[in-house]
């Protein structure tokens, strides 16, 4: 059995990208705020993380910065996994405002991440998200304890929560490395 310590990234500095008017994933290049760094330094002191064998990270800047802090504090190797990226609110990568992203997230939540019968949506479905996330976890199921740094909707969909705080650690045990 593998224990995965799912850690949501620290508080991101969303004000960094706003003057640039970036679209889609360009918005995901923001670093952590000072508060976000502090959240992760505090999380790194959690006794459970001392037994971890390695750290996996989403490729987004806020997650990689989080993982780098943990790697330094815990002296663990860090592996970036593309499929740990956050849930995709717009598969065309055209959304360009927080309001639009919230609309898409609200629609995803209303639908439970499942496209209504006979319809498609711009957002990534729950099944597609879980397929890529579980694929990553399966690849590391030979380990005993693994830290996984990622995002709120990504991890929340896996564990059935919508309230994972920035810097929070959620234990997820998988007997075969998959859900």
Classified as helix, coil or strand, 3 is strand
Q: What is the mean pLDDT of residues 68-96?
A: 93
What are the φ/ψ torsions at residue 3 (nearest 5 degrees)?
A: -100, 125
Closest CA to 66 of 35, 32, 26: 32
Q: What is the pLDDT of residue 179?
A: 43
**Which residues, in sequence order, are CB contacts of 3 under 8 Å at separation 6+?**
144, 145, 146, 171, 172, 173
> What does the domain layout of the chain look like in residue ranges?
2-48+59-86+125-174
Higher pLDDT, 27 or 142: 142
Rounded to 5°, the CA angle 142-64-81 comes to 40
At the top level of CATH, the class of 2-48+59-86+125-174 is: alpha beta
Q: Please determine, for residue 141, whether its predicted confidence score (pLDDT) is greater than 60.
A: yes
User: pLDDT tens digits, residue range 103-132?
Assistant: 998 999 899 999 999 999 999 999 999 999
Strand partners, 78: 55
Q: What is the pLDDT of residue 61?
A: 94
Instruction: Spell 124-136 as b/e; 16+ CB within 10 A means b.
Output: bbbeebbeebbeb
Q: What is the mean pLDDT of residues 31-49?
A: 97
The C-alpha R_g of the chain, in whole angstroms, comes to 16
β-strands 2-8, 169-174: how paired? antiparallel
């Amino acid at each position: 059995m593998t224990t995965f310590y799912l850690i949501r990234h620290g508080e991101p500095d969303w004000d960094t990208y706003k003057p640039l008017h970036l679209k889609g994933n360009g918005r995901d290049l923001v670093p952590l705020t000072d508060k976000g760094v502090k959240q992760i330094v505090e999380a790194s002191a959690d006794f459970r993380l001392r037994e971890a064998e390695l750290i996996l990270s989403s490729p987004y800047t806020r997650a990689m910065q989080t993982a780098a802090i943990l790697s330094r504090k815990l002296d663990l190797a860090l592996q970036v996994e593309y499929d740990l990226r956050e849930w995709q609110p717009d598969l065309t990568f055209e959304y360009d405002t927080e309001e639009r992203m919230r609309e898409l997230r609200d629609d995803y939540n209303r639908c439970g991440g499942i496209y209504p019968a006979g319809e498609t949506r711009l957002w990534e479905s729950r099944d597609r998200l879980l397929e890529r996330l579980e694929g990553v976890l399966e690849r590391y199921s030979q380990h005993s304890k693994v830290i996984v740094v990622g995002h709120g909707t990504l991890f929340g969909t896996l564990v059935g929560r919508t309230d994972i705080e920035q810097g929070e650690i959620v234990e997820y045990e998988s007997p075969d490395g998959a859900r």
